[in-house]
Structure 1
Amino acid sequence: MKIKDILVEIRALAPEDGQSAWDNCGVQVAGTLTEADKVAVCLEPTPAMVGACLDWGAGAVVTHHPLYMKPVSLGTPGRVLDVARRVMADGAWLYAAHTSLDVRPGGPAFWLGSELGLRGTQILEKAHTRCPVEASFYLDEPVSRATADIWARRASIHSVSQSGTGEVRVVCDEADWPAVAEAIVFAVGSRPVFYLRTLFAPCDAVGFGEVGDLPEPMDFDAFSALLDRLLPAHARGYWTVSGPQPERVARVGYCGGSGSDLVTAAAKAGADVFITGDMKYHAAVEAGVCVLDVGHFSLEEEMMRRFAQELSGRLSGVEVRFFVGSDPFRVRVRQ
Structure 2
Amino acid sequence: MQLTEIFSAIEKIAPLEAAAPWDMSGLQVAARRSDAVILAVCLDPTPASVRQALELGAQCILSHHPLALKPALPRRLDAYHEVLRLLLAADVPLYSAHTSLDINADGPAGWLAGELELRNLEVLDPTAPPLSGAALPLGFGLAGDLPTPRSLAQIMSALTRHIALSTATVCGPMPERISRLAYCTGSGSSLLREAGASGAQLFITGDVKYHTALEAEICLLDVGHHSLEEEMMRRMSELLARRLAGLNVVFVPSASPLRPALLS
Letter in 2 for 1:105: A
- Could you tell which deviates more after superposition, 101-110 or 285-294? 101-110
Say if 2:122 and 2:136, in contact at 8 Å, map to a contact too. no
Query: Relative to structure 1, is the Cα distance of residues 204 and 256 closer, same or farther in structure 2, using a 3 angstrom cutoff?
Result: closer
Aligned to 1:212: 144
Say if 2:205 and 2:225, in contact at 8 Å, map to a contact too. yes
Question: Which TM-score applies when normalising by structure 1?
Answer: 0.75
For residues 155 and 30 of structure 2, what CA distance do their matches in structure 1 show? 45
Unaligned 5+ runs, structure 2: none
Find out whether 1:59 has 2:59 as its counterpart: yes
The Cα of 1:54 is off from its aligned counterpart by: 1.2
Find out whether 1:254 has 2:183 as its counterpart: yes
Say if 1:243 and 1:286, in contact at 8 Å, map to a contact too. yes
The Cα of 1:225 is off from its aligned counterpart by: 2.3
Say if 1:228 and 1:237, in contact at 8 Å, map to a contact too. no
Aligned to 2:89: 89
Find out whether 1:103 has 2:103 as its counterpart: yes
- Could you tell which deviates more after superposition, 302-311 or 74-83? 74-83
Letter in 1 for 2:229: E
For residues 295 and 117 of structure 1, what CA distance do their matches in structure 2 show? 22
Say if 2:123 and 2:136, in contact at 8 Å, map to a contact too. no
For residues 154 and 71 of structure 2, what CA distance do their matches in structure 1 show? 46
Letter in 2 for 1:298: S
Find out whether 1:245 has 2:177 as its counterpart: no
The Cα of 1:55 is off from its aligned counterpart by: 1.9
CA-based RMSD of the aligned residues comes to 1.7
The Cα of 1:237 is off from its aligned counterpart by: 4.7
Does the residue aligned with 2:129 lie in a helix, a strand or coil?
Answer: strand
Taking the TM superposition and a 5 Å limit, the aligned residue runs for 1:259-274 are 259-274=188-203
The Cα of 1:204 is off from its aligned counterpart by: 5.5
For residues 220 and 320 of structure 1, what CA distance do their matches in structure 2 show? 36
Aligned to 2:119: 119
Say if 1:62 and 1:95, in contact at 8 Å, map to a contact too. yes
For residues 204 and 332 of structure 1, what CA distance do their matches in structure 2 show? 40
- Could you tell which deviates more after superposition, 114-123 or 214-223? 214-223
| Residue of structure 1 aligned with 2:242, choices 308, 313, 320 | 313
Unaligned 5+ runs, structure 1: 132-155, 159-172, 174-202
Cα deviations by residue, 1:219-260 (Å, 9 ceiling, x for unpaired): 3332332233342xxx23541110011011100000111011
Letter in 1 for 2:150: M
Letter in 1 for 2:212: A
Aligned to 2:34: 34
For residues 157 and 91 of structure 2, what CA distance do their matches in structure 1 show? 46
Say if 2:166 and 2:259, in contact at 8 Å, map to a contact too. no
For residues 327 and 130 of structure 1, what CA distance do their matches in structure 2 show? 32
Say if 2:166 and 2:260, in contact at 8 Å, map to a contact too. no
Question: Which TM-score applies when normalising by structure 2?
Answer: 0.95
Aligned to 1:328: 257
For residues 254 and 188 of structure 2, what CA distance do their matches in structure 1 show? 21
Aligned to 1:161: none
Say if 2:162 and 2:231, in contact at 8 Å, map to a contact too. no
Does the residue aligned with 1:229 lie in a helix, a strand or coil?
Answer: coil
Find out whether 1:222 has 2:151 as its counterpart: no
Letter in 2 for 1:293: D
Task: Give me the identity figure in percent.
Answer: 44
For residues 166 and 182 of structure 2, what CA distance do their matches in structure 1 show? 19
Cα deviations by residue, 1:118-172 (Å, 9 ceiling, x for unpaired): 00010011122357xxxxxxxxxxxxxxxxxxxxxxxx5x7xxxxxxxxxxxxxx
Does the residue aligned with 1:214 lie in a helix, a strand or coil?
Answer: strand
> Paired residues, what number?
264
For residues 48 and 151 of structure 2, what CA distance do their matches in structure 1 show? 43
Query: Relative to structure 1, is the Cα distance of residues 204 and 241 closer, same or farther in structure 2, using a 3 angstrom cutoff?
Result: closer
